[in-house]
Every structure is written in C-alpha cells, then in structure tokens.
Copies of this chain bind each other. A is one copy, B any other.
Amino acid sequence: MITQNHYTKRITLADIARVSGFSISTVSLVLNEAPLSRYVAASTKEHIRAVASKLGYRPDAAARSLRSRRSHTIGIMVSDISDPFCTLILQGIEKALHSTTYLPIIMIAHNQRKQFGRHLEMLMERRVEGLILVANWLFGEFDQLADIRKSQIPMVGVGRDLTASRVRSLQVDNEAGGYAAAQHLYELGHRKIAVLRGPSELADSDRRWNGIQRFAAEAGLSLAPELVGQLSPADDPTSEFEGGYRLISSMIEKGAEFTAVIAFDDLTSLGAIRALRQAGRHIPKDCSIIGFDDIPHAAVNTPGLTTIRQPMEQMGSMAAKWVLDSLADTKSHTTVGPSSLTGTLHLLPPELVIRQSTARRLVDMRATPVTRLSVASQGRARRKKR
C-alpha cells in the first residue's frame, strides 16, 4: 500500500459514484457530457452534478491524459522572458490559444543552451502536442530539435529564423524594414546617415543592412564607411544600449558628420540618443534617429521614438495558428502531416511608426515639431515591402 497521503484527499469519480449511488461510468458520462449521456435520466444528471460540485470534484488532468493519450497542451519555449520582444509574442500566442482547448506550457530558457535542452526534454515528457520556439537572440542550432522533429510534433519558430535547424519559422521581413528605415530618413531630406548594424552572428543584422543598402543603391545615396558601426557580439541584450552609446559617442569624437541615425533596434537607439544628448545635440532638430522593433518603451520615451515596428503579437498568434492547423490536419488526415513545410521561412511586413525622433532636415525648420500625446496609434503609416 502507498503511504497514506497527507494532502487533502482527492475527490475522484469513485467518490461521486459512491455518494450519489450511481456507477463510475455513469458519473463520467454525465460530467463529461459525453454523447452517450443522452440516455441518462435528467434527474440522475442533476443529482450527479450536484454531488460533484458539493464535493468539489476536479478531474485529474494526469489520469485523463494518460487514458486519452492527449495532453491538450502546447509547449512554448521562450528564450528570454525579460525581453519585451519575447513577451509580446508570447501575448499573441496566448491570445490565439485562449479560445481553444489547448493550454500553453511556458518554459523559460534564459538564453542558455543547457536550460533549453533540459526544458525541451520536460516538454516532451509532458507530451505536448505542439511546440513553439520564441527566440529573440541567439538560438543557434540544436541537435535536439532533430530528435524532436522525429516525434512528428508540429513545431514553429517565431522571432528569429530557425530554418537552419530545419524549423519552420516566422519573422518580420528584416530587409524590408531596413529599406523602409532608410527611405524614411531619405525622404525627410537626410543624406548623411549613420548606421549602427547589429552584431554579426545575428542573421537579422545582415538582412536589415541589406535592405538599407538596397535603398541606398536605388536612391543613389552613399553610405560613408566611417558612418557605419557594428555592435559587438554579446549574449546580453541590454548591452545593445551601451553599444549604441559607444558607437555614436566615438563617431562624434572623431568629428564624423551626420544628420540622422539608423539604429539596429530600439535599445540601440536609446543608447545613441544618450550619446547625442551628451554631445549637446537635440533630437530631432540636430539629428534624427530611427529604431527597430517598437518595444513598448519606444512610445513613452521623450521624444517618442520613430521606429520600424515588428508585429509581435501578430507573429505570436500566427505561430499559434500554424500549430493549431497542423494539429487539425494531423488528426483528420493521414500521417503525412505538416512535415512537408519543414524549413519554410515566412516573412511578415514591418510597419513604419513615425513619432518624434525623426524630422525633416531643413535649415529653416521650427525649433521643435509639435509633440502630440497619443501613445500607441499615432502617426502610423504603412509601407509594405515585397
């Protein structure tokens, strides 16, 4: 016999059966509103439900999932929970899953390979029916994923391109974003534009840079080498702030001339802004600056940060929907399933959000543009690329 449990006794179907005087089967039928319960007398149903609720019955998920061979859960692996980028994606996933019978099981990897593997293992042991990888930074490649793929579980990566690990991925169109950023500044009259590229190990860095270069080529804009900096590789996202600060500080020290800055992302912009302010430059009067991401802080910063917005919530809910669709397919059709889509990369259009950190490059412009209040939906223009 098992050691008598010290917890409050768990109420089981058997208890309800005993108290109500009906069999376990009947009780189960009734409480689950199973098809067969049509034939159960209404009075019986009522009685059983009353007993169940009086006893505080709660079905045991473990027993249920053991029997039904379904966990009704979807694993979410988040690389960094303190990054608003991940958090917003998470929010999108949550919302998409909310109306379904699936429960998200969220795991936090803290950007550490070891944690990642360990947590992945736990998710598999819990027999999640789908897997979403939310990545903000380096995810690298993972042999373990190959292992997982064999299990036929629908899997999608969101935020970063994980196709190198043969995972279907969803992310913003970085190149279009870079292009749009350059275009925006160009159209405002800027010709001497500094660019702060992202760290080299991040594929996104090059994509954004390519977009910038593509626009420059098309517009006949030249990007002076001394105005192009690159963030150093780092595992810590907050180092981006310092990176932006250092790069711009050093450009200013060297006497480089520029009237606008394209930063790798919003955090980098904030670093750049501090550097500019310390040098006594006003934004956007003396220098415009544009970021990337549209993290929540961008809107509440002063000046409001003009940026290239990633539709993070949308990315999250889209990823969730992909998984749900695969799940539906797998259940109704044959074994073929979604494996055919392995390795696909899907790009979502970014959105230019104009706030107060960018302004027309003019000699006679007013001291400072009128700053309006609205946080979220202000001055937004869409420019879809590709």
Write the residues of chain A forming the contact surface with B, with a CB cutoff of 8 angstroms. Answer: 2, 5-8, 10, 56, 58-63, 65-66, 69, 71, 81-82, 84, 87-88, 90-91, 94, 98, 103, 105-106, 108, 110, 115, 121-122, 124-127, 147, 150-152, 238, 241-242, 245, 267, 270-271, 273-274, 277-278, 296-297, 299-302, 330-331, 334-335, 371, 373, 375-376
Contact = CB atoms under 8 A, between A and B. Distances in A.
A105 B62 CA distance: 14
A59 B8 CA distance: 27
Contact of A63 (B66, B241, B267): B66
Contacts of A88: 82
Contacts of A147: 56
A81 B90 contact: yes
Which of A106, A147, A151, A331 has the most chain B CB atoms inside 10 A of its CB? A106
Contact of A126 (B61, B241, B335): B61
Give the 6 A-B CB pairs with smallest separation, nearest first: A106-B106, A274-B302, A62-B62, A62-B65, A62-B66, A61-B125
A232 B81 CA distance: 30
B60 A267 contact: no
B125 A58 contact: yes
Contact of A58 (B61, B82, B121, B270): B121
A66 B56 contact: no
Nearest to A372: B278
Contacts of A8: 150-152
A103 to B, nearest CB: 6
A7 B375 contact: no
A8 B82 CA distance: 36
Contacts of A267: 300
B297 A277 contact: no
B69 A5 contact: yes
Contact of A278 (B58, B63, B127, B371): B371
Given A60-B127, A125-B59, A84 B84 contact: yes
A162 B103 CA distance: 26
9 contacts: A58-B124, A60-B127, A238-B300, A238-B376, A241-B375, A267-B300, A270-B302, A277-B371, A278-B371
Nearest to A63: B66
A61 B299 CA distance: 44
Given A152-B7, A273-B302, A302-B274, A81 B91 contact: yes
A61 B331 contact: no
Nearest to A278: B371
A122 B103 contact: yes
A273 B302 CA distance: 7
Nearest to A374: B242
Nearest to A110: B94
A371 B59 CA distance: 59
Contact of A82 (B87, B98, B238): B87
B125 A296 contact: no
A7 to B, nearest CB: 6
Nearest to A331: B6
